[in-house]
Amino acid sequence: MFYKKTWEQRKLGQVAKITMGQSPNSKNYTQNSQDYILVQGNADMKRGLVVPRVWTTQVTKRAYKGNLILSVRAPVGDVGKTDFNVVLGRGVAGVQGNEFVFQYLVQMKNSGYWKRYSTGSTFESINSADINEANLTLPTFPEQAVIGNFLSKIDNLIAANGCARPPPNCALLLM
């Protein structure tokens, strides 16, 4: 099925709600898996998925099951998905995007897109304006669903054929 409408360039902040993280007070960090999962940075993501490591009793900013998590501090641009409701630390942002947006964000990281916006002498970082103003070229929503689903299946197929789960969006590199 081919669509005739052309792809449009849009800002990420126009197509997805972005929530910048805010770290809870460290005195509220726990190892109790009954507390809220805290995502502080890419150390809390493995192979494109959030992996609980630290918990907190203090809720600051949140992302919800199915949201995307974007690392905004060194290394900038790593992206994952969350299968949990989580608290966002200041090293990440939550993105309410679909599978196509996830694959697109991974490609942005792989192509070095975020490096041109990274600032900081101690460690690189990007800010909310950089994220909200990031340019994406998008098809219609039905096309996004088809393409995102296809690329996700390719990633899973690669993983199922003897590889450790590949970096997300290997298939997008083929396009």
pLDDT, tens digit, 9 for 90 and up, residues 6-54: 899 999 999 999 999 999 999 999 999 999 999 999 999 998 899 999 9
Give the integer Cα–Cα distance in Å for 30 and 57.
7
| Residue 162, CB-side half-sphere exposure with 13 Å CA sphere | 0
Q: Which two tokens stand for residue 70?
A: 């974007």
Residue-wise pLDDT for 53-78, tens only, equals: 999 999 999 999 999 999 999 889 99
Q: Are the beta carbons of 61 and 95 closer than 8 angstroms?
A: no
**pTM confidence score:** 0.86
Cα separation, 75 vs 98, whole angstroms: 23
